[in-house]
Structure 1
Amino acid sequence: MRRHALLALAFATAPCSAALAPEALTLPPGFKLEVYATEVPNARQLALGAKGTVFAGSRDAGKVYALVDADGDGRAEKVRTIATGLRMPSGIAFRDGDLYIGAVDRVLVLRGIEDKLDTPPKPEVVTDKLPGETHHGWKFIAFGPDGRLYVPIGAPCNICDKGNDYAKLISMKADGSDWRDEAYGIRNTVGFDWQPRTQQLWFTDNGRDMLGDELPSDELNRITRRGEHFGYPYCHQGDTLDPEFGTGKSCKDYTPPMFALGPHVGAIGMRFYTGSTFPAEYRGAAIIAEHGSWNRSKKSGYRVVAVETDGAKVGKPHVLVDGFQRDEVAQGRPADVLVMPDGALLVSDDYAGAVYRVSYAAKPAAKGK
């Protein structure tokens, strides 16, 4: 099958129309999964407002949603569509009362949105100068500790060399000015966060396609200095030169991943767990939504994992939520994770159009006789 036909098949997969039943998913002992919201078509990146509103972007639906849990019972009673007709508005970020939206070639903003959920304002353009290619053009955006908005510019291809114009992460001021390249050699990151102790940015990156089932691995990376290069399209997973673009290159010249997540797992949404209610091994861990493979003879990913780290090195990975595919059939596809103030974790599922809530309550010790 030709490459473009494979891509068409991957993106033509019809989503299901209902949230997975909690009992269909598996979690470690003590953890509980509940449905936080349904009827959130193609839910992708999540963001939390100052007044407790959970916002969700989408890719194929072209919409942005507001999810409100007014009574605090861990389930959103109402889902509102607050923007529509946008071009792959997957990425969203909340700051100072405003919701920023990454929509391929532009960043938009909804001003004072939490006070206007029933009558949302028209999106204002922050910048419309980003590249317009839709191949890896959808975004994950976030404000850093420096107050700047971080925006990826993905490679407009599976594998190609466009120099420093693509395959990178940039930042800008909140008004869209003062663009700055932060890192290069990043095929397509749609998940990143800042490690709380070091304030360094960590990100997921998807490996290239068409090198077979086992190559290359998706990556969890860490930026230690501005201008760092992570290898694409010359070197993959820190140790494998590209058969087309790696000639004359050395993997030693590029920053290797902190952790190899596995081939084609579709590692996208990523946040550090900053809550205090999960067990110790999860605190400070990088929680990653593995969206799942589309081009592998046996599916990989389709789960949420936690990679232990202290900010300097990584430790053991843990599978937090599993079961989004069964018997090689996708039932759901996790897209992002979000730590809530009460320590619970939200997980968006763009295949089921739903958001789940993961919490932890250790079972009481059995009383002695």
Structure 2
Amino acid sequence: MRYLIFILLLSQTVCNEAPSEKQAANTASVAPVYTGKLPLDKIKLPAGFRITTFAEGVENARSLCLSPDGTLFVGTRNAGNVYALRDTNGDLVADLQYTLATGLRMPNGVAFRNGSLFVAEVSRILRFDDIENRLDNPPAPVVVFADYPTEGHHGWKYIAFGPDDKLYVPVGAPCNICEREEPVFASITRLDVDNPGKGYEVVQHGIRNTVGFTWHPETGDLWFTDNGRDYLGEDQPACELNHATADGQHFGYPYCHQGDIPDPKFGEKHPCSDFVPPAQNLGPHTAPLGLEFGKSTAWPESYKNQVLIAEHGSWNRSKKIGYQVSLVRLNDQGEGIAYEPFASGWLEAGDEVWGRPVDLEWLPDGSLLVSDDYADAIYRIYYAP
């Protein structure tokens, strides 16, 4: 109970208004922290799977990105920091932690390309060059692009480089439910970081707030989570797992939710049949964020090309839901045929919460990292029957 009270106090501390966007402070520190007090024995996993701690004391740990040389970059939302973690002795536990930047405005998104770390603030994309040779003395960032909207509501961003080597950047709806004329809102955009002067292009529409996406390892199609609107009831609408088969598709927001619920305010403008339905409806208000396709040869074959999703958990239900890593099983046509828990236990009986999964990242050994911005930790899930 004392641990839970401490975490609640800590969460109140970091949930203050995010700092204004400004130049990142190049103040690095080395501060690995391990308490051994995380109650990992409470996590329920399928038979043969185990969970350990990869890192503790990573304040507000959210988006994850692993470089080819093994540096794990970590974005934050409320803390305003960007971190790098290193496992220097190969024991699959981080033993060095660097703070690469502080004072940023919701630097949730991190991506790595050609030796440079890219970081997404609300309205800017930053680049830290030659970063792995500068972990203990990080450079001032280059501002790659500074013309995304400044609205903070759903303004934090997940970013990733696609198979086309372009940077994909979402822009959430600046509200719970609204219709904005600017097409950039409620979208996923694409940015050529080698020629940012061309600006971004909007490639997917009707997406309220995606904070996680990836590409199918075989088809190359884009898959993403989306957080459903609030205040339509405790049990609707569902959050969504979506599948984009081409550029320029529309996934319903703000007119239609979960593929079949017209919005009470905007639904008369377009029927749900006008939009791409979800590949799988998830739990209502589960707040699905990061996702990965099963691709580890160290895991059973039944997980190959299935979708693992970090569910951050609800905030507006009388009984909490989510707070887990879920599994969506797909058929050969890419349709969801099952939705089930994979790793659960961060939500306890009595609705007490001690952790909130945010993002997922594969390690080369075939284990899966899970970030937790509530417990300030990163877990490692592996298969060892």
Q: Return closer, same or farther for 1:294/1:13 CA change in 2, 3 Å cut-off.
A: farther
| Counterpart residue identity of residue 295, structure 1 | N
Alpha-carbon shift at residue 32 of structure 1 (Å):
0.6
Please report the RMSD computed on the Cα atoms of aligned residues, expressed in angstroms: 1.8
Partner secondary structure for residue 330 of structure 1: coil
Contact 1:197-1:311 at 8 Å conserved across structures: no
Q: Which segment drifts farther, 307-316 or 68-77?
A: 307-316
* Residue in structure 2 matched with residue 39 of structure 1 by the alignment: 57
Match of 1:349 among 372, 376, 384: 372
Aligned partners of 2:263, 2:113: CA distance in 1, in Å? 40
* Residue in structure 2 matched with residue 172 of structure 1 by the alignment: 191
Alpha-carbon shift at residue 97 of structure 1 (Å):
0.9
1:317 aligns with 2:335: no
* Residue in structure 1 matched with residue 217 of structure 2 by the alignment: 196
Match of 2:272 among 251, 256, 270: 251
Contact 2:76-2:108 at 8 Å conserved across structures: yes
Alpha-carbon shift at residue 15 of structure 1 (Å):
7.2
* Residue in structure 1 matched with residue 21 of structure 2 by the alignment: none
Contact 2:14-2:79 at 8 Å conserved across structures: no
* Residue in structure 2 matched with residue 85 of structure 1 by the alignment: 103
Partner secondary structure for residue 329 of structure 1: coil
Contact 1:104-1:133 at 8 Å conserved across structures: yes
Alpha-carbon shift at residue 281 of structure 1 (Å):
2.0
| Counterpart residue identity of residue 191, structure 2 | M
Match of 1:332 among 330, 355, 370: 355
Match of 1:70 among 65, 84, 88: 88
Aligned partners of 1:24, 1:108: CA distance in 2, in Å? 39
* Residue in structure 2 matched with residue 113 of structure 1 by the alignment: 131
Alpha-carbon shift at residue 20 of structure 1 (Å):
2.6
* Residue in structure 2 matched with residue 365 of structure 1 by the alignment: none
Alpha-carbon shift at residue 169 of structure 1 (Å):
0.5
| Counterpart residue identity of residue 352, structure 1 | A
Aligned partners of 1:101, 1:15: CA distance in 2, in Å? 20
Aligned partners of 1:77, 1:189: CA distance in 2, in Å? 32
Alpha-carbon shift at residue 244 of structure 1 (Å):
0.8
| Counterpart residue identity of residue 93, structure 2 | R
* Residue in structure 1 matched with residue 283 of structure 2 by the alignment: 262
1:152 aligns with 2:175: no
**Residues 155-188 of structure 1: CA distance to partner in whole angstroms, max 9, x if unpaired?**
0000000132300010011233432111100001
Q: Return closer, same or farther for 1:211/1:84 CA change in 2, 3 Å cut-off.
A: same
Alpha-carbon shift at residue 228 of structure 1 (Å):
0.5
Alpha-carbon shift at residue 307 of structure 1 (Å):
1.3
* Residue in structure 2 matched with residue 231 of structure 1 by the alignment: 252
Match of 2:41 among 13, 23, 44: 23
| Counterpart residue identity of residue 151, structure 1 | V
Partner secondary structure for residue 325 of structure 1: coil
Alpha-carbon shift at residue 121 of structure 1 (Å):
0.8
1:278 aligns with 2:299: yes
Match of 1:207 among 228, 232, 257: 228
Query: What stretches of structure 1 move > 6 A for 4+ residues in a row?
Result: 15-19
1:241 aligns with 2:259: no
Aligned partners of 1:300, 1:13: CA distance in 2, in Å? 21
Aligned partners of 1:311, 1:350: CA distance in 2, in Å? 35
Partner secondary structure for residue 188 of structure 2: strand
Gaps of 5+ in 1: 1-10, 363-369
Aligned partners of 1:14, 1:299: CA distance in 2, in Å? 22
* Residue in structure 1 matched with residue 27 of structure 2 by the alignment: none
Alpha-carbon shift at residue 311 of structure 1 (Å):
6.1
Aligned partners of 1:105, 1:311: CA distance in 2, in Å? 37
Q: TM-score, normalised by structure 2?
A: 0.88
Contact 1:147-1:174 at 8 Å conserved across structures: no
Q: TM-score, normalised by structure 1?
A: 0.92
Partner secondary structure for residue 105 of structure 2: coil
* Residue in structure 2 matched with residue 289 of structure 1 by the alignment: 310
Aligned partners of 1:39, 1:120: CA distance in 2, in Å? 20
Contact 1:50-1:97 at 8 Å conserved across structures: no
Gaps of 5+ in 2: 1-9, 16-32
* Residue in structure 2 matched with residue 126 of structure 1 by the alignment: 144
Alpha-carbon shift at residue 249 of structure 1 (Å):
2.2
Aligned partners of 2:130, 2:14: CA distance in 1, in Å? 32
Q: Return closer, same or farther for 1:26/1:91 CA change in 2, 3 Å cut-off.
A: same
How many equivalent pairs are there?
353
Higher relative contact order, structure no. (Cα contacts within 8 Å, ≥ 6 residues apart) = 1
| Counterpart residue identity of residue 343, structure 2 | V
**Residues 269-328 of structure 1: CA distance to partner in whole angstroms, max 9, x if unpaired?**
112122111112212111100000000111110000121234622332342210111121
**Residues 85-115 of structure 1: CA distance to partner in whole angstroms, max 9, x if unpaired?**
1000000111111110010010001111111
Contact 2:243-2:279 at 8 Å conserved across structures: yes
